[in-house]
Amino acid sequence: SAVISQKPSRDICQRGTSLTIQCQVDSQVTMMFWYRQQPGQSLTLIATANQGSEATYESGFVIDKFPISRPNLTFSTLTVSNMSPEDSSIYLCSVSPGVGEQYFGPGTRLTVT
Amino acid sequence: AQSVAQPEDQVNVAEGNPLTVKCTYSVSGNPYLFWYVQYPNRGLQFLLKYITGDNLVKGSYGFEAEFNKSQTSFHLKKPSALVSDSALYFCAVRDDSSNDYKLSFGAGTTVTVRA
């Protein structure tokens, strides 16, 4: 398994600003993922962030809006840029150290006003 | 392509009764199947997985799941539910023919266990 921490745990931001979310893992992992989740809803994959390569974005998500950094095997950041109220959500990072299961961070609850 | 369906939005059971949360899947190759639980204001916690081998897999907190290839199902079960099992449960699948390690999640099932 893996232990994952995220910062901040929650934030309230003004529209038009940007927020950077940090994800720290207690062990080295190649595969890392960023998700968005509306409370009580399912998860939507934003992008896959593997160390040593550019992040791969899912349909509907673009690098200009959600730039991702993956500087090493234990850390990643997701930035939500030029925020609007529609970006209000829970953002989760996860890692896949094994055959297929993913382990998730506690999430960052973002509210945009 | 891979997908998973959870046909029930909500499951309500009395404490001490058996709990079943249903999941069906669709993959091109062979499935890797997973169950997760999410408590309020928390991240997802991994419960159990089926990769290969015995069709009945056991996981955390007394949960188990049975892989049924002919019915393309992977239902989560607990013989005797606790009030503390009340949470949101997600089934997820990965096609073993995929090398991108992405998971597809179901819509989730809210479980309420009444005292």
Average pLDDT over residues B70-96: 96
Separation of alpha carbons B97 and A23, rounded Å = 29
Please give chain A's pLDDT, 113 residues, in tens.
789 999 999 999 999 999 999 999 999 998 899 999 998 899 999 999 988 888 999 999 999 999 999 999 999 999 999 999 999 999 999 998 877 789 999 999 999 99
| A31 vs B: CB within 8 A | yes
Looking at residue A58, the DSSP 8-state letter turns out to be P
- To the nearest whole Å, the CA of A49 is away from the closest chain B CA by 11
CB-CB under 8 Å, A100 with B103: yes
Measured distance CA(B7)–CA(B16) in Å, rounded? 23
Neighbours of A83 (CB within 10 A): 21
Rounded to whole angstroms, what are the CA distances from A83 to A15, A16, A24, A58, B91?
A: 5, 5, 23, 19, 31
| B22 interface with A at CB cutoff 8 Å | no
Strand-strand pairing, B64-68 and B73-78: antiparallel
Q: Is B5 on the interface with A (CB under 8 A)?
A: no
Distance CA B115, CA B104 (A): 33
Residues found in chain B: 115
Chain A residues touching residue B42 (CB < 8 angstroms): 106-107
Output the pLDDT for position B1: 84
* Cβ-nearest to A45 among B45, B102, B108: B102
- Interval B54-69: pLDDT, tens: 999 999 999 999 999 9
Say if the Cβ atoms of B51 and A105 lie within 8 Å: no
- Say how far apart CA A22 and CA A8 lie, in whole Å: 7
| Distance from the A52 Cα atom to the nearest Cα atom in chain B, whole angstroms | 15
Give strand pairing partners of B33.
Answer: B50, B93
* Residue percentage of chain B with pLDDT more than 70: 100
